[in-house]
Amino acid sequence: MKKGLLLPWVYVVMFISTMSFGALPMNEYDNKDDLLHIIRDISHRYNVHFTYDRDIVENVVVEEYTPDMYRDVEDALSDVLAGTHLKYVLLEMKYIIIYQDDEEGMRSLEQMVEVLEKILDQKKEKRRVVYLEKLESSIHLNRLKLEKHRIMLNVSGTVTDQAGEPLIGVNVLVQGTTMGTATDIEGRFELQDVNENATLVFSYVGYQTQEVPVNGRSSISVTMVEDLQTLDEVVVVGYGTQKKSDLTGTVASVGSERLDNVPNLDIAQAIQGAVPGVMMQTSSAGAAPGEVLMIRGRNSIRASNDPLIVVDGIPYGGQLRDINPNDVKSIEVLKDASAAAIYGSRGANGVILVTTKEGEQGKARISYDGYYSIQQFTKLPELMNGEEFYKFKLEREPDAITESEKRIYESGQWVDWIDLALRNGYSMQHNLTASGGFQNTQYYISGGLTEVQGLAVNDNYKRITTRINLDTKIATWFTLGTRTQLNFDDRSGIAPTWDGDQGVFWMNPLTRAYDDNGDLTIFPWDDDPYFRNPLMGTLADNVNKSYQVVTNNYAIVDFPFIEGLQYRLNTGIRFRFLDQMTYYGRNTQVGLNNRGDASLSRSKNNSTVIENILSYNRQIGRHNLFFTAVYSFEDYKSNGESLSAQGFPHDILTWYSAAQAELVVPGFSYSSTSLISQMIRLNYAYDSRYLLTLTGRRDGYSGFGQESKWGLFPSLALGWNISNEGFYPQNAVLNRLKLRISYGLNGNQGVGAYETISRLSANNLVGSTSTLPGYIPSRLGEDNLGWESTRNLNIGVDFGFAQDRFQGDFNYYLSNTFDLLLGRSISPVHGITSITQNIGQTQNTGYEMSITSRNVNAGRFRWVTSANAALLKNKIVSLYGELDEDGNEIDDIANQWFIGHPIQVNFGYVWDGVWQLDEAEEAARYGTQPGFIKIKDINNDGVISADDRQIIGQNDPKFMWGMNNTWSFNNLSLSVFLHGVHGVTKNNVLKSDNVYTGVRRNTTRKNWWTPENPNNEWYMNHIDAHRMQGVGANNYEDASFIRIKDISLSYDLGRSLLRNTGINKFQIYLTGRNLFTITDWEGLDPELSGQRNIPLQKEFVFGLNFGF
């Protein structure tokens, strides 16, 4: 125990010249003769501090106290203490120790003097002036202003982590004041003039915040406990926050380990695998990858399954990647009806709440976070090279070989198009943050730069973000704040074409990429001018930039006379401007054919949100009441102009000379939707044991039919903290147990504007040489189109074992989505092939579990595992309600929707291998021959007909999991994150031998059947080998995978090394992303939706954080 630690019986009393609560006004002294009162009075009168043991002072009666008669403080004290057994010592004319005149008293005096001297020494150091002479007390008294000034003591101490290591940069704040500091590199802090009764708040990212009462101590040591989803963590729940223990709904938080020290380009990457039941799929790779988010499976067949994203309380309609992940403090996912019901019409697909960082009281902190990464492709398919392609073609269609192919084959100078289209990528990110607080204002200001050079040539991405988060308390009852984000996004540059018949994956290798001058060829295949150079885009002039402002400003009124009543006005504005321009000159096929080809488009998106939120939050005895009412208004508008021009006089001025082009086609787009919502929520908790949440929301959306614009979405949730019950055993292994159940209705507005309106689209004609504007019917409207609704039941258990050493939760849910917004295929006889209607029903059931375990917590070595898993089952319950003769509902084969089966299934003929030589006879009966594809005759009727089509697996996963392990030893920490997705079957299109007539595109190298090599793996190389009786079968493969998503090794230089540098944090890390994948999938990557596209990258990252 440190020397300065105060003995418990010591009080340092501070007196305030004027009693702030008006209990004892100075001039109304009532002549009580009790010593305590007298001491207090002297303290007021002479502006001095007393230190004493309360036991010896209490109950001492002073015979006479005549305050106006004394010369000075010593005179007063001598007189007062004369008749007692007490003595005093005066130090620096300001500090008075009262002690008992015996041996014990002397001992305590020594200690008290020591304490006081320490304080005085510190003050001396600071003031560099020492007063030891006695003051002329009368003068002193006259000068003394009886001000409202707390005279306090200094508090210092050390903050360490559980391993006993000092923590640097811990925020130490005096509760209820703006006074605060941060620990230095040795974990020490010092606060001056702290009220003895004050409470210090210690907070540090990743650790539980602690409140420590000073209790008169001048030295306080604190051990911070790591924050592993602590019980009393405050969780953002939408239109407010709640203690985790009070939650009734299913709200999952993304662990901070997924947000820090991982090279996330956007927050979706942080969510992947981190929350059970949330699917994040990288649908396309590249500098700015495409991502799909889905919570608890696919509810909707045709409407969107995207969750609602809410940033700092305001629905966010922008791109996720415009939010700098470095600015994000927390991500919460609302999964069940109760949690999401507050977002009513848009809650059915779940809600993701993103909260950005804010400043904290205390001195300004500046920090830098940055990383640099090298990117390489994970896997490439094996396409045939020129020689193999030539032989393949020779075998398949020898007369289709053209002169130039032959020439190139003979010269050996064929092209590896993929190799030309790829390069080594890199990405880097730099973030600079300044945050802090003064007086009644807190600020967080950050700037970030992200630059990615993707794996594909000319595929670049640059993002600059700025965030200004400010909160200021103008009056005790009035707070103003802003969450403002500015960003610039630059995707200029066109990458090579990957997919399609002009793409690198399909391009004939027996071609030329460069001409004799070293320029990219316009027509790489001399004999087939249909083909253009897949790298053509790299020659185009291209601008693709967007500019966005997202500003959410709010005002909070805390009604002074009703405790807990608050009104909050949120006003959010998002404005995004997108500017795209492309020009293909005559050095490209498109530009040459069109004599210059320009396309320009500019679009503006803006949304406005106004929310009025009234809340009442009050603890009355054992009753905790939290009532919220919202009235909100949202408006979204987008409009754009475009211009395409062809036939330019020259290439010099690119699109700038569009006015001189021969064909100039302008275009305009417009969309506007509005949403009006009303919401009421009541959260009630009794004694932290019984919890209730009632929610109702009513929404009106402009996109729906005249009679069906409004929808009502109620929900109910109950919670029971069993472990808080009196009967619950105190020392149970299962130390925490909570049951939750919720049921409610959510909506999916799912459709854009104008879906209910039948309309025509332009289809123009010419008469002679002039344009004749024309229209044809293009969409069928549905007057009573309305909400798609989801009824959702959730049963959950939260638990903690062994004093929360293991903690986690388990959820079961059942959701029924009905009145689906179905873009249903209708008979082509209508002349229009689809219509959106409210029909059908789907069901999702699932089990989700997450657990965090502190496996080892032995001092310097720690090992924490957090894992989650979700099992989900999805099926179509009903479609149009049309029954067959047996009373079973009819499937919709045209759309490949089957009752009782998942929404997205594969459907087609079953590939059953290859007809072998000894099966020639049977093959002949089907009109085919050995070496050709064998398609399963399911009904064995001797012909392959539509009835032989089967459901072959599903496209959405059945099981997903994520697991993070962190091992740390002293300053070194290693974490490994695994992600698994199972039960997915997809068509691997990459292998297809559909090389066009005349073998005009490439395919992968395969083990083709030949009479000499009669295998069952792949049919022979023959123009008709992939069909049997005119039909073909897809190559379905299991696209399940387990991926080591991230491995991160970090080292905190901290502590000893940074001494005297002024830097209080310095951390470096190395991260590897997508390093290994285990899968049976033989395509590009099981996660990517397009298999002929930019391959997924693996990254090696070096990162650095420091702050001062």
Partner 1 sequence: MKLIQKIILLTSWIFLVPGCSEDWLNEKPPHLITTESLYATYEGFETGLNGLYALVREEREGRDGTNYLRADVFMNGTDNMVTNHRDGFSRVAEDWVNQNNPFNADISSTFTWLYRIVNSANTIINQATSRDDIDWRGGSRGEIENKNAVLAEAKALRAWAYRHLTFGWGDVPLNLEESLGSNIKTDWTRTDVDVVRNQMKSDWIFAQQHLDSEPPIPGKISKGAVQHYLSELYLIQNKPDSVLYWADQVINNPAYGLITERYGVRSNEPGVPFMDMFYDGNSNREEGNKEALWVWQFEYETIGGGGSIMRRWHTSRYADISINGVRPLQYTLERGGRGVTRISLTKWAIDNYEPQDDRASNFAIRKYFILRDATENAPASADRLPPGYQYGDTIFLKWDEDISANSRNRVDWPFSRKYDSTIETNLQEAAQYNDQVYLRLAETYLLKAEAQFLLGATEDAAQTLNIIRERSHASPIPADSVNIDFILDERSRELVFEEHRRYTLLRTGKWLERVRRYNHNGGQLATERDRLFPIPQSVIDANLTEEMTQNPGFN
Q: From edge to edge, which strands make up the β-sheet containing 210-213?
A: 180-182, 171-174, 199-203, 210-213
Q: Which amino acid is at 530?
A: Y
Q: Name the residue among 176, 179, 178 with its Cα closest to residue 189.
A: 179
List phi, psi (to 5°) of 946.
-55, -30
Contact yes or no for 980/272 (Cβ under 8 A): no
3-state secondary structure of 503: coil
Nearer to partner 1 by Cβ, of 251 and 598: the residue is 598
Nearer to partner 1 by Cβ, of 186 and 397: the residue is 397
Q: How far is the CB of 1033 from partner 1 (least distance, A)?
A: 12
Residues in the chain: 1108
Q: What separation in angstroms does the CA of 707 have from each of 45, 702, 710? A: 78, 11, 8
List phi, psi (to 5°) of 106.
-65, -40
Nearer to partner 1 by Cβ, of 230 and 758: the residue is 758
3-state secondary structure of 221: strand
Q: How far is the CB of 747 from partner 1 (least distance, A)?
A: 15
Phi-psi region of 1011 (alpha: psi -120 to 50; beta: other; left: phi over 0): alpha
In the block, which residue shows the tokens 């006005």?
569
Both tokens of 885, joined, read 């003769």
Query: CA 340, 564, 741 angle in degrees (round to 5)?
Result: 30
Q: How far is the CB of 658 from partner 1 (least distance, A)?
A: 13
Nearer to partner 1 by Cβ, of 67 and 700: the residue is 700
Q: Which residues, 6+ apart, have CB-to-CB distance to 910 below 8 Å?
A: 935, 936, 938, 948, 950, 952, 1033
Q: Which residues, 6+ apart, have CB-to-CB distance to 105 below 8 Å?
A: 56, 87, 99
Nearer to partner 1 by Cβ, of 229 and 594: the residue is 594
Work out the number of other CB atoms within 10 angstroms of the CB of residue 643.
17
Nearer to partner 1 by Cβ, of 131 and 670: the residue is 670
Question: What are the beta bridge partners of residue 668?
Answer: 641
Is the sign of the CA dihedral 223, 228, 233, 234 positive or negative? positive
Q: Which amino acid is at 230?
A: T
Contact yes or no for 515/521 (Cβ under 8 A): yes
Nearer to partner 1 by Cβ, of 46 and 531: the residue is 531
Q: How far is the CB of 523 from partner 1 (least distance, A)?
A: 8
Nearer to partner 1 by Cβ, of 659 and 858: the residue is 659
Q: How far is the CB of 518 from partner 1 (least distance, A)?
A: 22
Q: How far is the CB of 614 from partner 1 (least distance, A)?
A: 6
Q: Which amino acid is at 84?
A: T
Q: How far is the CB of 548 from partner 1 (least distance, A)?
A: 24
Q: Which residues, 6+ apart, have CB-to-CB distance to 1016 below 8 Å?
A: 913, 914, 916
Nearer to partner 1 by Cβ, of 216 and 524: the residue is 524
Q: How far is the CB of 734 from partner 1 (least distance, A)?
A: 43
Q: Could you give the CA distance from residue 849 to residue 70 in angstroms, rounded to a whole number? A: 75
Q: How far is the CB of 773 from partner 1 (least distance, A)?
A: 5
Q: How far is the CB of 660 from partner 1 (least distance, A)?
A: 13
Contact yes or no for 680/695 (Cβ under 8 A): yes
Around 987, how many Cα atoms within 13 Å sit in the side-chain half-sphere? 15
Question: What are the beta bridge partners of residue 430?
Answer: 370, 449
Q: How far is the CB of 25 from partner 1 (least distance, A)?
A: 30
3-state secondary structure of 81: helix
Q: Could you give the CA distance from residue 1064 to residue 159 in angstroms, rounded to a whole number? A: 14
Q: Which residues, 6+ apart, have CB-to-CB distance to 389 below 8 Å?
A: 414, 508, 509, 510, 999, 1002
The helix (H) or strand (E) run that includes residue 589 is: helix 589-594
Q: How far is the CB of 594 from partner 1 (least distance, A)?
A: 7
Q: How far is the CB of 896 from partner 1 (least distance, A)?
A: 9
Nearer to partner 1 by Cβ, of 131 and 633: the residue is 633
Work out the number of other CB atoms within 10 angstroms of the CB of residue 1029.
14
Buried b (16+ CB within 10 A) or exposed e, 443-469: bbbbbbbbbbbbbbbbbbbbbbbbbeb
In the block, which residue shows the tokens 């020290």?
261
Nearer to partner 1 by Cβ, of 787 and 799: the residue is 787
3-state secondary structure of 468: strand
Nearer to partner 1 by Cβ, of 431 and 756: the residue is 756
Both tokens of 656, joined, read 């700038």
Nearer to partner 1 by Cβ, of 189 and 701: the residue is 701
Nearer to partner 1 by Cβ, of 391 and 759: the residue is 759
Q: How far is the CB of 927 from partner 1 (least distance, A)?
A: 7
Both tokens of 386, joined, read 């020129």
Nearer to partner 1 by Cβ, of 413 and 939: the residue is 939
Q: How far is the CB of 1029 from partner 1 (least distance, A)?
A: 6
Q: Which residues, 6+ apart, have CB-to-CB distance to 203 below 8 Å?
A: 170, 171, 173, 209, 210, 360
Q: How far is the CB of 662 from partner 1 (least distance, A)?
A: 5
Nearer to partner 1 by Cβ, of 317 and 998: the residue is 998
Q: How far is the CB of 667 from partner 1 (least distance, A)?
A: 10
Q: Which amino acid is at 877?
A: V
Nearer to partner 1 by Cβ, of 702 and 970: the residue is 702
List phi, psi (to 5°) of 517.
-90, 0
Nearer to partner 1 by Cβ, of 122 and 674: the residue is 674
List phi, psi (to 5°) of 405.
-65, -40
Largest CA distance in the chain: 130
Q: How far is the CB of 22 from partner 1 (least distance, A)?
A: 24
